[in-house]
Chains A and B, each alone.
Chain A
Amino acid sequence: MELRCRSHSQTRAEQVVGLKNVSQEGIFMNPLATDSLAQIAFWIVVGLTFGGASLAVFPRNILYNVLGLALALAGVAGLYLYLGSFFIALMQLLIYVGAITISIVFAIMLSRPLHLEVPRREVPKVAMAIAASLVFFLGAVGVCFKTSWVPAPDRSADWSVTAIGHMLLTRYDLVFEVISLVLLVAIIGAVVTAGFTRRLSS
Protein backbone atom coordinates (compact mmCIF):
# COMPACT_ATOMS: atom_id res chain seq x y z
CA MET A 1 0.00 0.00 0.00
CA GLU A 2 3.00 2.27 -0.38
CA LEU A 3 2.10 5.30 -2.40
CA ARG A 4 4.89 7.59 -1.42
CA CYS A 5 5.69 10.80 -3.16
CA ARG A 6 8.91 10.29 -4.97
CA SER A 7 11.99 12.36 -4.30
CA HIS A 8 12.83 15.59 -6.11
CA SER A 9 15.61 14.01 -8.10
CA GLN A 10 13.13 12.16 -10.31
CA THR A 11 11.67 14.13 -13.18
CA ARG A 12 7.96 14.70 -13.46
CA ALA A 13 7.68 12.21 -16.29
CA GLU A 14 9.02 9.46 -14.11
CA GLN A 15 6.32 10.25 -11.60
CA VAL A 16 3.65 10.31 -14.27
CA VAL A 17 4.44 7.09 -16.07
CA GLY A 18 6.23 5.57 -13.14
CA LEU A 19 9.33 4.98 -15.22
CA LYS A 20 12.10 3.23 -13.37
CA ASN A 21 15.54 2.39 -14.73
CA VAL A 22 15.50 5.30 -17.13
CA SER A 23 18.76 5.09 -19.04
CA GLN A 24 20.41 8.09 -20.59
CA GLU A 25 20.43 6.78 -24.15
CA GLY A 26 17.92 7.05 -26.92
CA ILE A 27 15.51 9.86 -27.76
CA PHE A 28 12.90 8.70 -25.29
CA MET A 29 15.31 8.21 -22.45
CA ASN A 30 16.86 11.66 -22.48
CA PRO A 31 15.81 13.41 -19.23
CA LEU A 32 15.12 16.63 -21.12
CA ALA A 33 12.88 14.75 -23.53
CA THR A 34 10.99 13.05 -20.70
CA ASP A 35 10.58 16.41 -19.02
CA SER A 36 9.09 17.96 -22.13
CA LEU A 37 6.94 14.85 -22.57
CA ALA A 38 5.68 15.47 -19.05
CA GLN A 39 4.97 19.08 -20.00
CA ILE A 40 2.97 17.91 -23.01
CA ALA A 41 1.07 15.42 -20.86
CA PHE A 42 0.31 18.17 -18.35
CA TRP A 43 -1.11 20.51 -20.98
CA ILE A 44 -3.13 17.70 -22.56
CA VAL A 45 -4.68 16.96 -19.16
CA VAL A 46 -5.37 20.65 -18.52
CA GLY A 47 -6.88 20.92 -22.00
CA LEU A 48 -9.11 17.91 -21.31
CA THR A 49 -10.28 19.46 -18.06
CA PHE A 50 -11.09 22.83 -19.59
CA GLY A 51 -12.56 21.32 -22.76
CA GLY A 52 -14.74 19.03 -20.67
CA ALA A 53 -15.79 21.88 -18.41
CA SER A 54 -16.86 24.05 -21.33
CA LEU A 55 -18.70 21.08 -22.84
CA ALA A 56 -20.44 20.76 -19.49
CA VAL A 57 -21.63 24.38 -19.59
CA PHE A 58 -22.15 25.64 -23.13
CA PRO A 59 -23.99 23.07 -25.30
CA ARG A 60 -27.79 23.13 -24.99
CA ASN A 61 -27.85 19.35 -24.98
CA ILE A 62 -27.99 17.88 -21.50
CA LEU A 63 -26.30 14.62 -22.46
CA TYR A 64 -23.33 16.50 -23.91
CA ASN A 65 -23.20 18.39 -20.61
CA VAL A 66 -23.00 15.20 -18.59
CA LEU A 67 -20.36 13.61 -20.82
CA GLY A 68 -18.41 16.88 -20.76
CA LEU A 69 -18.55 16.87 -16.98
CA ALA A 70 -17.27 13.29 -16.95
CA LEU A 71 -14.41 14.37 -19.22
CA ALA A 72 -13.54 17.31 -16.98
CA LEU A 73 -13.55 15.11 -13.86
CA ALA A 74 -11.38 12.54 -15.64
CA GLY A 75 -9.02 15.42 -16.50
CA VAL A 76 -8.81 16.32 -12.81
CA ALA A 77 -7.93 12.67 -12.13
CA GLY A 78 -5.17 13.11 -14.72
CA LEU A 79 -3.86 16.08 -12.72
CA TYR A 80 -3.67 13.93 -9.58
CA LEU A 81 -1.80 11.35 -11.62
CA TYR A 82 0.58 14.06 -12.79
CA LEU A 83 1.20 14.99 -9.17
CA GLY A 84 2.12 11.38 -8.49
CA SER A 85 -0.87 10.20 -6.49
CA PHE A 86 -2.29 7.18 -8.23
CA PHE A 87 -4.64 6.33 -5.39
CA ILE A 88 -6.35 9.74 -5.33
CA ALA A 89 -6.61 9.73 -9.13
CA LEU A 90 -8.38 6.36 -9.13
CA MET A 91 -10.65 7.42 -6.28
CA GLN A 92 -11.54 10.53 -8.29
CA LEU A 93 -12.51 8.30 -11.24
CA LEU A 94 -14.40 5.84 -9.07
CA ILE A 95 -16.36 8.43 -7.10
CA TYR A 96 -16.85 11.32 -9.52
CA VAL A 97 -17.00 9.65 -12.92
CA GLY A 98 -18.39 6.39 -11.59
CA ALA A 99 -20.92 7.55 -9.03
CA ILE A 100 -21.63 11.29 -9.32
CA THR A 101 -21.89 11.52 -13.12
CA ILE A 102 -24.03 8.42 -13.25
CA SER A 103 -26.37 9.80 -10.59
CA ILE A 104 -26.66 12.95 -12.74
CA VAL A 105 -27.74 10.66 -15.58
CA PHE A 106 -30.48 9.50 -13.23
CA ALA A 107 -31.51 13.11 -12.70
CA ILE A 108 -31.79 13.51 -16.47
CA MET A 109 -34.15 10.56 -16.62
CA LEU A 110 -36.38 12.35 -14.13
CA SER A 111 -36.27 15.60 -16.10
CA ARG A 112 -38.23 16.60 -19.23
CA PRO A 113 -37.99 14.32 -22.28
CA LEU A 114 -34.93 14.90 -24.45
CA HIS A 115 -36.79 15.12 -27.75
CA LEU A 116 -38.81 18.18 -26.69
CA GLU A 117 -37.54 21.57 -27.79
CA VAL A 118 -34.96 23.00 -25.41
CA PRO A 119 -36.18 26.17 -23.67
CA ARG A 120 -34.25 29.37 -24.38
CA ARG A 121 -31.61 30.53 -21.94
CA GLU A 122 -33.05 33.16 -19.60
CA VAL A 123 -30.82 36.16 -19.03
CA PRO A 124 -31.46 36.52 -15.26
CA LYS A 125 -30.68 32.84 -14.69
CA VAL A 126 -27.47 33.08 -16.69
CA ALA A 127 -26.48 36.25 -14.81
CA MET A 128 -27.15 34.58 -11.48
CA ALA A 129 -25.16 31.51 -12.49
CA ILE A 130 -22.23 33.67 -13.58
CA ALA A 131 -22.40 35.66 -10.34
CA ALA A 132 -22.48 32.50 -8.21
CA SER A 133 -19.55 30.92 -10.01
CA LEU A 134 -17.65 34.22 -9.85
CA VAL A 135 -18.08 34.34 -6.07
CA PHE A 136 -16.79 30.79 -5.79
CA PHE A 137 -13.93 31.46 -8.22
CA LEU A 138 -12.82 34.60 -6.38
CA GLY A 139 -13.05 32.78 -3.05
CA ALA A 140 -10.92 29.91 -4.35
CA VAL A 141 -8.35 32.29 -5.86
CA GLY A 142 -8.25 34.26 -2.59
CA VAL A 143 -7.61 31.11 -0.57
CA CYS A 144 -4.95 30.06 -3.08
CA PHE A 145 -3.09 33.35 -2.64
CA LYS A 146 -3.44 33.48 1.13
CA THR A 147 -2.14 29.95 1.69
CA SER A 148 1.59 29.63 2.03
CA TRP A 149 2.18 26.52 -0.04
CA VAL A 150 4.75 23.97 1.09
CA PRO A 151 5.70 21.16 -1.32
CA ALA A 152 4.37 17.78 -0.22
CA PRO A 153 7.82 16.12 0.15
CA ASP A 154 8.82 18.85 2.64
CA ARG A 155 5.75 18.37 4.79
CA SER A 156 5.91 14.60 5.11
CA ALA A 157 7.72 11.66 3.62
CA ASP A 158 4.79 9.34 4.16
CA TRP A 159 1.92 9.76 1.70
CA SER A 160 0.76 6.17 1.75
CA VAL A 161 -2.92 5.24 1.60
CA THR A 162 -2.74 4.50 5.33
CA ALA A 163 -1.44 8.00 6.05
CA ILE A 164 -4.18 9.59 3.92
CA GLY A 165 -6.77 7.50 5.76
CA HIS A 166 -5.46 8.55 9.15
CA MET A 167 -5.44 12.22 8.15
CA LEU A 168 -9.00 12.04 6.81
CA LEU A 169 -10.25 10.70 10.13
CA THR A 170 -8.20 12.98 12.40
CA ARG A 171 -6.90 16.29 11.07
CA TYR A 172 -9.46 16.66 8.28
CA ASP A 173 -12.48 14.91 9.75
CA LEU A 174 -14.61 18.08 9.49
CA VAL A 175 -14.14 18.05 5.70
CA PHE A 176 -14.97 14.37 5.68
CA GLU A 177 -18.19 14.96 7.62
CA VAL A 178 -19.21 17.94 5.46
CA ILE A 179 -18.82 15.79 2.33
CA SER A 180 -21.09 13.13 3.80
CA LEU A 181 -23.60 15.87 4.66
CA VAL A 182 -23.56 17.01 1.02
CA LEU A 183 -24.22 13.44 -0.10
CA LEU A 184 -27.06 13.12 2.41
CA VAL A 185 -28.65 16.33 1.07
CA ALA A 186 -28.27 15.01 -2.48
CA ILE A 187 -29.97 11.73 -1.59
CA ILE A 188 -32.86 13.44 0.22
CA GLY A 189 -33.18 15.85 -2.71
CA ALA A 190 -33.36 12.96 -5.17
CA VAL A 191 -36.02 11.20 -3.08
CA VAL A 192 -38.10 14.40 -2.84
CA THR A 193 -37.78 15.10 -6.58
CA ALA A 194 -38.73 11.56 -7.51
CA GLY A 195 -41.63 11.67 -5.05
CA PHE A 196 -43.01 14.88 -6.59
CA THR A 197 -42.90 13.60 -10.16
CA ARG A 198 -44.60 10.38 -9.10
CA ARG A 199 -47.39 12.28 -7.35
CA LEU A 200 -47.87 14.57 -10.35
CA SER A 201 -48.09 11.72 -12.82
CA SER A 202 -50.41 9.50 -10.81
Chain B
Amino acid sequence: MGSFMASEWFRLIVGLVIVLAFSQLNALFLVWLERKVAGHIQLRIGPKEVGPFGLLQTIADGIKLVGKELITPRSADNKLFPVAPVLVFMPVLVGFLVLPFAPHLIIRDMNVGVLLIFAFSAFTVLAILAGGWSSNNKYALLGAIRSVAQNVAYEIPLLLAVLSVVLMVNSLQFSEIVKAQGRVWFVFVQPVAALIYLICATAETNRAPFDIPEAESELVAGFHTEFSGMRFGLFFLAEYTNMFIVSAVATSLFFGGWQGPFGFDLGIPGIVWFLAKTYVLIFVIMWVRWTFPRLRFDQLMNLSWKFMIPLSLANLIVTAIVLKLI
Protein backbone atom coordinates (compact mmCIF):
# COMPACT_ATOMS: atom_id res chain seq x y z
CA MET B 1 0.00 0.00 0.00
CA GLY B 2 2.91 2.28 0.78
CA SER B 3 4.05 2.22 -2.81
CA PHE B 4 0.52 2.96 -3.96
CA MET B 5 0.41 6.04 -1.75
CA ALA B 6 3.58 7.30 -3.40
CA SER B 7 2.54 6.38 -6.92
CA GLU B 8 1.38 8.56 -9.77
CA TRP B 9 -2.06 6.95 -9.64
CA PHE B 10 -2.55 8.09 -6.06
CA ARG B 11 -1.52 11.62 -7.05
CA LEU B 12 -3.93 11.47 -9.96
CA ILE B 13 -6.90 10.38 -7.86
CA VAL B 14 -6.19 12.81 -5.02
CA GLY B 15 -5.69 15.61 -7.52
CA LEU B 16 -8.99 14.85 -9.24
CA VAL B 17 -10.92 14.77 -5.96
CA ILE B 18 -9.37 18.05 -4.84
CA VAL B 19 -10.08 19.71 -8.19
CA LEU B 20 -13.72 18.58 -8.19
CA ALA B 21 -14.25 19.66 -4.60
CA PHE B 22 -12.51 22.97 -5.18
CA SER B 23 -14.46 23.79 -8.33
CA GLN B 24 -17.78 23.21 -6.55
CA LEU B 25 -16.74 25.22 -3.51
CA ASN B 26 -15.39 27.99 -5.71
CA ALA B 27 -18.66 28.17 -7.65
CA LEU B 28 -20.69 28.25 -4.42
CA PHE B 29 -18.58 31.12 -3.13
CA LEU B 30 -18.56 33.03 -6.43
CA VAL B 31 -22.33 32.87 -6.84
CA TRP B 32 -22.70 34.31 -3.35
CA LEU B 33 -20.04 36.93 -4.06
CA GLU B 34 -21.68 37.89 -7.35
CA ARG B 35 -25.02 38.45 -5.62
CA LYS B 36 -23.39 40.45 -2.84
CA VAL B 37 -21.38 42.59 -5.28
CA ALA B 38 -24.45 43.14 -7.45
CA GLY B 39 -26.46 44.02 -4.38
CA HIS B 40 -24.03 46.57 -3.03
CA ILE B 41 -23.48 48.15 -6.45
CA GLN B 42 -27.25 48.55 -6.81
CA LEU B 43 -27.59 49.90 -3.24
CA ARG B 44 -29.12 46.68 -1.92
CA ILE B 45 -27.72 44.25 0.64
CA GLY B 46 -27.88 41.01 -1.31
CA PRO B 47 -28.52 37.62 0.32
CA LYS B 48 -28.46 37.85 4.12
CA GLU B 49 -30.99 35.41 5.57
CA VAL B 50 -29.35 31.98 5.24
CA GLY B 51 -26.25 31.66 7.41
CA PRO B 52 -23.86 34.46 8.44
CA PHE B 53 -23.86 37.19 5.75
CA GLY B 54 -26.06 34.90 3.66
CA LEU B 55 -23.06 32.63 3.01
CA LEU B 56 -25.18 29.48 2.98
CA GLN B 57 -27.68 30.90 0.47
CA THR B 58 -25.97 29.19 -2.48
CA ILE B 59 -25.98 25.84 -0.70
CA ALA B 60 -29.72 26.19 -0.20
CA ASP B 61 -30.09 27.11 -3.87
CA GLY B 62 -27.93 24.16 -4.86
CA ILE B 63 -30.07 21.74 -2.88
CA LYS B 64 -33.13 23.21 -4.52
CA LEU B 65 -31.60 22.75 -7.97
CA VAL B 66 -30.67 19.13 -7.28
CA GLY B 67 -34.22 18.45 -6.14
CA LYS B 68 -35.84 19.92 -9.23
CA GLU B 69 -37.26 17.85 -12.06
CA LEU B 70 -35.15 17.59 -15.21
CA ILE B 71 -37.49 18.72 -17.95
CA THR B 72 -36.72 17.78 -21.55
CA PRO B 73 -38.80 19.67 -24.11
CA ARG B 74 -40.81 17.34 -26.38
CA SER B 75 -39.20 18.59 -29.57
CA ALA B 76 -35.66 18.72 -28.17
CA ASP B 77 -32.96 16.51 -29.61
CA ASN B 78 -33.05 13.74 -27.01
CA LYS B 79 -29.48 12.54 -27.63
CA LEU B 80 -27.59 15.83 -27.43
CA PHE B 81 -29.82 17.64 -24.92
CA PRO B 82 -28.89 15.62 -21.80
CA VAL B 83 -25.21 15.42 -22.78
CA ALA B 84 -24.66 19.13 -23.46
CA PRO B 85 -24.41 20.33 -19.82
CA VAL B 86 -21.84 17.62 -19.04
CA LEU B 87 -19.89 18.53 -22.18
CA VAL B 88 -19.83 22.16 -21.08
CA PHE B 89 -18.45 21.35 -17.66
CA MET B 90 -15.82 18.71 -18.53
CA PRO B 91 -13.28 20.76 -20.54
CA VAL B 92 -13.31 23.47 -17.88
CA LEU B 93 -11.89 21.03 -15.34
CA VAL B 94 -8.87 20.27 -17.54
CA GLY B 95 -7.54 23.77 -16.86
CA PHE B 96 -6.87 22.90 -13.22
CA LEU B 97 -4.26 20.36 -14.35
CA VAL B 98 -1.69 23.03 -15.13
CA LEU B 99 -2.57 26.04 -12.94
CA PRO B 100 0.43 27.01 -10.79
CA PHE B 101 -1.08 27.63 -7.36
CA ALA B 102 2.31 27.62 -5.64
CA PRO B 103 5.87 26.51 -6.54
CA HIS B 104 5.10 22.91 -5.61
CA LEU B 105 1.34 22.99 -5.93
CA ILE B 106 0.86 22.22 -9.60
CA ILE B 107 -0.89 18.98 -10.45
CA ARG B 108 1.27 18.58 -13.56
CA ASP B 109 3.73 21.23 -14.59
CA MET B 110 3.52 20.55 -18.32
CA ASN B 111 5.87 22.24 -20.73
CA VAL B 112 2.87 23.12 -22.91
CA GLY B 113 0.58 24.16 -20.05
CA VAL B 114 -0.56 27.45 -21.57
CA LEU B 115 -1.55 25.69 -24.78
CA LEU B 116 -3.51 23.07 -22.87
CA ILE B 117 -5.90 25.58 -21.33
CA PHE B 118 -6.62 27.36 -24.61
CA ALA B 119 -6.90 24.14 -26.63
CA PHE B 120 -9.67 22.85 -24.42
CA SER B 121 -11.61 26.09 -24.36
CA ALA B 122 -12.83 25.26 -27.89
CA PHE B 123 -14.83 22.33 -26.54
CA THR B 124 -16.85 24.64 -24.33
CA VAL B 125 -18.05 26.57 -27.37
CA LEU B 126 -19.02 23.41 -29.23
CA ALA B 127 -20.86 22.19 -26.13
CA ILE B 128 -22.72 25.49 -25.83
CA LEU B 129 -23.66 25.17 -29.49
CA ALA B 130 -24.84 21.59 -28.92
CA GLY B 131 -26.90 22.70 -25.92
CA GLY B 132 -28.47 25.69 -27.61
CA TRP B 133 -29.23 23.85 -30.83
CA SER B 134 -30.57 20.67 -29.24
CA SER B 135 -33.10 22.63 -27.15
CA ASN B 136 -34.98 23.37 -30.39
CA ASN B 137 -35.86 26.81 -29.14
CA LYS B 138 -35.20 29.91 -31.20
CA TYR B 139 -33.80 31.91 -28.28
CA ALA B 140 -31.50 29.09 -27.31
CA LEU B 141 -30.28 28.69 -30.89
CA LEU B 142 -29.71 32.43 -31.28
CA GLY B 143 -27.75 32.45 -28.04
CA ALA B 144 -25.63 29.51 -29.18
CA ILE B 145 -24.89 31.08 -32.56
CA ARG B 146 -23.92 34.35 -30.93
CA SER B 147 -21.66 32.47 -28.56
CA VAL B 148 -19.82 30.83 -31.47
CA ALA B 149 -19.40 34.12 -33.35
CA GLN B 150 -18.19 35.89 -30.23
CA ASN B 151 -15.79 33.14 -29.34
CA VAL B 152 -14.17 33.10 -32.78
CA ALA B 153 -13.78 36.87 -32.69
CA TYR B 154 -12.26 37.09 -29.22
CA GLU B 155 -10.10 33.99 -29.27
CA ILE B 156 -7.71 35.59 -31.79
CA PRO B 157 -6.71 38.71 -29.79
CA LEU B 158 -6.68 36.58 -26.62
CA LEU B 159 -4.15 34.16 -28.09
CA LEU B 160 -2.08 36.99 -29.61
CA ALA B 161 -1.92 38.72 -26.22
CA VAL B 162 -0.82 35.49 -24.56
CA LEU B 163 1.70 34.94 -27.35
CA SER B 164 3.54 38.17 -26.60
CA VAL B 165 4.11 36.95 -23.03
CA VAL B 166 5.19 33.53 -24.28
CA LEU B 167 7.60 35.24 -26.65
CA MET B 168 9.20 37.10 -23.76
CA VAL B 169 9.66 34.05 -21.55
CA ASN B 170 10.40 31.66 -24.42
CA SER B 171 8.34 28.96 -22.72
CA LEU B 172 4.77 27.68 -22.58
CA GLN B 173 5.30 26.33 -19.09
CA PHE B 174 3.37 28.12 -16.34
CA SER B 175 6.08 27.73 -13.70
CA GLU B 176 8.68 29.26 -16.05
CA ILE B 177 6.39 32.17 -16.88
CA VAL B 178 5.74 32.86 -13.20
CA LYS B 179 9.44 32.59 -12.32
CA ALA B 180 10.28 35.13 -15.03
CA GLN B 181 8.20 37.69 -13.15
CA GLY B 182 10.27 37.57 -9.96
CA ARG B 183 11.16 41.26 -10.10
CA VAL B 184 8.60 42.94 -12.32
CA TRP B 185 5.16 41.58 -13.10
CA PHE B 186 4.39 41.37 -16.79
CA VAL B 187 1.42 43.68 -16.37
CA PHE B 188 3.96 46.53 -16.14
CA VAL B 189 5.98 45.31 -19.11
CA GLN B 190 3.03 44.29 -21.28
CA PRO B 191 0.16 46.54 -20.18
CA VAL B 192 -1.53 46.39 -23.59
CA ALA B 193 -1.44 42.60 -23.68
CA ALA B 194 -2.79 42.44 -20.13
CA LEU B 195 -5.67 44.75 -20.96
CA ILE B 196 -6.50 42.84 -24.14
CA TYR B 197 -6.33 39.56 -22.22
CA LEU B 198 -8.72 40.80 -19.53
CA ILE B 199 -11.23 42.16 -22.05
CA CYS B 200 -11.14 38.98 -24.14
CA ALA B 201 -11.34 36.76 -21.08
CA THR B 202 -14.50 38.56 -20.03
CA ALA B 203 -15.87 37.94 -23.51
CA GLU B 204 -14.78 34.30 -23.54
CA THR B 205 -16.61 33.63 -20.29
CA ASN B 206 -19.77 35.22 -21.76
CA ARG B 207 -20.02 37.84 -19.08
CA ALA B 208 -21.45 41.34 -19.32
CA PRO B 209 -20.79 43.63 -21.11
CA PHE B 210 -20.16 40.74 -23.51
CA ASP B 211 -23.03 38.50 -22.43
CA ILE B 212 -24.95 38.54 -25.69
CA PRO B 213 -25.21 34.71 -25.74
CA GLU B 214 -27.36 34.97 -22.60
CA ALA B 215 -28.79 38.49 -22.92
CA GLU B 216 -31.73 38.16 -20.50
CA SER B 217 -33.62 41.11 -21.91
CA GLU B 218 -33.70 39.80 -25.48
CA LEU B 219 -33.13 36.03 -25.40
CA VAL B 220 -34.86 34.92 -22.14
CA ALA B 221 -31.69 33.15 -20.92
CA GLY B 222 -29.87 32.44 -24.16
CA PHE B 223 -28.42 29.02 -24.78
CA HIS B 224 -29.57 27.54 -21.47
CA THR B 225 -33.19 28.69 -21.69
CA GLU B 226 -34.63 25.17 -21.80
CA PHE B 227 -32.41 23.58 -19.19
CA SER B 228 -33.81 23.00 -15.73
CA GLY B 229 -32.63 21.63 -12.40
CA MET B 230 -29.04 20.51 -12.12
CA ARG B 231 -28.54 20.65 -15.90
CA PHE B 232 -28.95 24.40 -15.61
CA GLY B 233 -26.77 24.16 -12.51
CA LEU B 234 -23.97 22.59 -14.54
CA PHE B 235 -24.01 25.49 -17.00
CA PHE B 236 -23.67 27.84 -14.07
CA LEU B 237 -20.91 25.77 -12.49
CA ALA B 238 -19.03 25.81 -15.79
CA GLU B 239 -19.39 29.58 -16.09
CA TYR B 240 -18.06 30.29 -12.62
CA THR B 241 -15.27 27.72 -12.85
CA ASN B 242 -14.31 29.22 -16.18
CA MET B 243 -14.19 32.64 -14.57
CA PHE B 244 -11.81 31.29 -11.95
CA ILE B 245 -9.60 29.71 -14.60
CA VAL B 246 -9.30 32.80 -16.82
CA SER B 247 -8.52 34.91 -13.75
CA ALA B 248 -5.97 32.39 -12.52
CA VAL B 249 -4.33 32.34 -15.95
CA ALA B 250 -4.25 36.15 -15.93
CA THR B 251 -2.68 36.01 -12.47
CA SER B 252 0.09 33.72 -13.62
CA LEU B 253 0.67 35.40 -16.98
CA PHE B 254 0.54 39.04 -15.95
CA PHE B 255 0.37 39.41 -12.17
CA GLY B 256 3.30 37.33 -10.99
CA GLY B 257 1.44 34.15 -9.98
CA TRP B 258 2.46 33.03 -6.51
CA GLN B 259 4.95 35.90 -6.01
CA GLY B 260 4.53 39.19 -4.25
CA PRO B 261 5.01 42.51 -6.05
CA PHE B 262 8.61 43.49 -7.02
CA GLY B 263 10.15 40.49 -5.33
CA PHE B 264 8.68 41.25 -1.86
CA ASP B 265 7.02 38.14 -0.49
CA LEU B 266 6.21 39.64 2.94
CA GLY B 267 6.36 36.10 4.33
CA ILE B 268 2.98 35.25 2.88
CA PRO B 269 2.80 31.76 1.35
CA GLY B 270 2.55 31.50 -2.44
CA ILE B 271 -0.91 30.00 -2.58
CA VAL B 272 -2.33 32.91 -0.58
CA TRP B 273 -0.82 35.41 -3.01
CA PHE B 274 -2.12 33.40 -5.94
CA LEU B 275 -5.69 33.00 -4.68
CA ALA B 276 -5.83 36.59 -3.44
CA LYS B 277 -4.84 37.97 -6.83
CA THR B 278 -7.19 35.60 -8.64
CA TYR B 279 -10.17 36.59 -6.51
CA VAL B 280 -9.36 40.28 -6.86
CA LEU B 281 -9.42 39.81 -10.65
CA ILE B 282 -12.72 37.94 -10.39
CA PHE B 283 -14.06 40.81 -8.32
CA VAL B 284 -12.99 43.24 -11.06
CA ILE B 285 -14.80 41.13 -13.68
CA MET B 286 -17.95 41.20 -11.52
CA TRP B 287 -17.58 44.93 -10.92
CA VAL B 288 -17.41 45.47 -14.70
CA ARG B 289 -20.50 43.32 -15.20
CA TRP B 290 -22.65 45.33 -12.85
CA THR B 291 -21.32 48.69 -14.08
CA PHE B 292 -21.45 48.59 -17.86
CA PRO B 293 -24.45 47.91 -20.13
CA ARG B 294 -24.39 45.10 -22.67
CA LEU B 295 -22.80 45.85 -26.06
CA ARG B 296 -24.89 45.51 -29.19
CA PHE B 297 -23.90 42.60 -31.41
CA ASP B 298 -22.32 44.70 -34.17
CA GLN B 299 -20.46 46.86 -31.62
CA LEU B 300 -19.12 43.70 -30.10
CA MET B 301 -17.86 42.34 -33.41
CA ASN B 302 -16.38 45.69 -34.44
CA LEU B 303 -14.55 46.01 -31.14
CA SER B 304 -12.84 42.70 -31.71
CA TRP B 305 -12.17 42.64 -35.46
CA LYS B 306 -11.43 46.31 -36.05
CA PHE B 307 -9.75 47.28 -32.80
CA MET B 308 -8.51 44.42 -30.62
CA ILE B 309 -7.03 42.19 -33.33
CA PRO B 310 -4.96 44.97 -34.99
CA LEU B 311 -3.88 46.22 -31.57
CA SER B 312 -2.81 42.79 -30.35
CA LEU B 313 -0.98 42.12 -33.64
CA ALA B 314 0.86 45.43 -33.31
CA ASN B 315 1.70 44.61 -29.70
CA LEU B 316 3.08 41.23 -30.73
CA ILE B 317 5.23 42.74 -33.49
CA VAL B 318 6.57 45.48 -31.23
CA THR B 319 7.38 42.86 -28.59
CA ALA B 320 9.25 40.76 -31.14
CA ILE B 321 11.24 43.73 -32.44
CA VAL B 322 12.14 44.98 -28.96
CA LEU B 323 13.22 41.49 -27.89
CA LYS B 324 15.39 41.21 -31.00
CA LEU B 325 17.01 44.60 -30.38
CA ILE B 326 17.78 44.07 -26.69
Listed in ascending order, the chain A residues whose CB lies under 8 Å from chain B are 1-3, 17-23, 25-26, 28-29, 63, 67, 70, 86-87, 90-91, 93-94, 97-99, 101-103, 105-106, 109, 114, 161
Contacts and interface: CB of A to CB of B under 8 A. Distances in A.
A3 B152 contact: no
The 10 closest A-B pairs by CB, nearest first: A98-B122, A93-B119, A94-B119, A90-B115, A90-B119, A25-B3, A23-B3, A97-B122, A19-B8, A28-B9
Given A28-B7, A67-B126, A97-B126, A3 B120 contact: no
Nearest to B144: A105
A98 B121 contact: yes
Contacts of A18: 108
A3 B3 contact: no
B170 interface: yes
Given A20-B8, A23-B3, A86-B110, A94 B115 contact: yes
Nearest to B155: A98
Report, as a range, how many residues of chain B touch the other chain.
Answer: 20 to 34
B275 interface: no
B249 to A, nearest CB: 15
Contacts of A25: 3-4
A1 B172 contact: yes
Nearest to A26: B4
A121 B44 CA distance: 60
Contacts of A87: 112, 115
Interface string B115-134: 11011111101100110010
Nearest to B170: A1
Contacts, number: 87
A22 B8 contact: yes
A21 B7 contact: yes
Interface string B123-164: 101100110010000000000010011011001000000000
Given A67-B130, A86-B112, A102-B151, A93 B120 contact: yes
Interface of B: 3-4, 6-9, 80, 108, 110-112, 115-116, 118-123, 125-126, 129-130, 133, 145, 148-149, 151-152, 155, 170-173
Contacts of A161: 112, 172
A91 B115 contact: yes
Contacts of A17: 8
| Interface majority SS (helix, strand, loop, mixed), chain A | helix
Contacts of B123: 70, 97
15 contacts: A18-B108, A20-B8, A90-B116, A91-B119, A93-B119, A93-B122, A94-B115, A99-B122, A102-B122, A102-B126, A102-B152, A105-B129, A114-B133, A161-B112, A161-B172
Contacts of A97: 119, 122-123, 126
A90 B126 contact: no
Given A3-B111, A101-B126, A23 B7 contact: yes
Contacts of A70: 123, 126
Contact of B148 (A2, A23, A102): A102
Contacts of B112: 3, 86-87, 90, 161
A102 B120 CA distance: 13
Contacts of B111: 1-3, 86
Contacts of B7: 21-23, 26, 28-29
Nearest to B4: A26
A109 B172 contact: no
A20 B152 CA distance: 38
A36 B35 CA distance: 50
Nearest to A97: B122
A28 B151 CA distance: 41
A23 B6 CA distance: 9
A70 B129 CA distance: 12
A67 B116 CA distance: 20
A16 to B, nearest CB: 12
B95 to A, nearest CB: 13
